[in-house]
Amino acid sequence: MTSKARSEKDPAISPQTRLRIHRLVTVLLDRYQVPAPPVPVERMLADPLLDLWETNPRQISWSVGHGIYRYSPRMAQARLLYRTLADSSAARQAGLDAPWPATRREVKYFARCLLMPEDWIRKLPAADRLPETIGEKFQVPAFEAIIRLAELGLPVPGGESIDPDQF
């Protein structure tokens, strides 16, 4: 698929949508009183605030293994949480505003924002802003850490230029 065809199918995330996603992440972290990584996305799914949503854990495909797949289920859980919140009118009324309909790119962006909040990444010493270090600390795949660094305009290891709007 060409990048033009991809961008037409799944356009870049608008600044307004990014802002709404950031607000949603802030509300979730505050309401669940999460001060540091790793974000307990499993608890968020299993113990919904004020019973505002329901989830079915069987909706997640599990990749058991190590290496790049080690934390993939956490990313899937975060994406499921987004879809569940977006589908819950009670959650929206309670201030958990998840933009919907959402593109696949927006849902993945939410997962990265939730599991690797901007403030937490920016507070890391530069020496700890390595994909493997972020991956272990935040319990996310190293590839997702690379994309998050690029989204935040922080240096990506190896000096590679990565367009975060392609992920």
Q: Is the pLDDT of residue 58 over 90?
A: no
DSSP letters of the chain? --HHHHHHHSPPPPHHHHHHHHHHHHHHHHHTT--SSSP-HHHHHHS-GGG-----GGGSPP---SGGGTTHHHHHHHHHHHHHHHT-HHHHHTT----SS--HHHHHHHHHHHHS-HHHHHHS-GGG-SHHHHHHHHT--HHHHHHHHHHTTPPPGGG----GGG-
pLDDT for residue 54:
63
Q: Domain for residue 13, yes or no?
A: no
State the pTM of this model. Answer: 0.83
Establish if 23 belongs to a structural domain: no
Residue 159 lies in a domain: yes
**Can you give the pLDDT at residue 68?**
53
More confident site: 103 or 1: 103
Residue 122 lies in a domain: yes
For the cut 70, the answer to whether the pLDDT of residue 91 exceeds it is: yes
Q: Is residue 24 situated within a structural domain?
A: no
Q: Residue 43 belongs to what domain range? A: 38-166
Determine, yes or no, domain membership for 20: no
22 lies in a domain? no
Mean pLDDT of the chain: 83
| Residue pLDDT, tens place only, 17-55 | 999 999 999 999 998 999 999 999 988 888 887 666 666
Instruction: Please give the tally of structural domains in the chain.
Output: 1
Q: Is 78 among the domain residues?
A: yes
Q: State pLDDT tens for residues 138-163.
A: 999 999 999 999 999 999 887 777 77
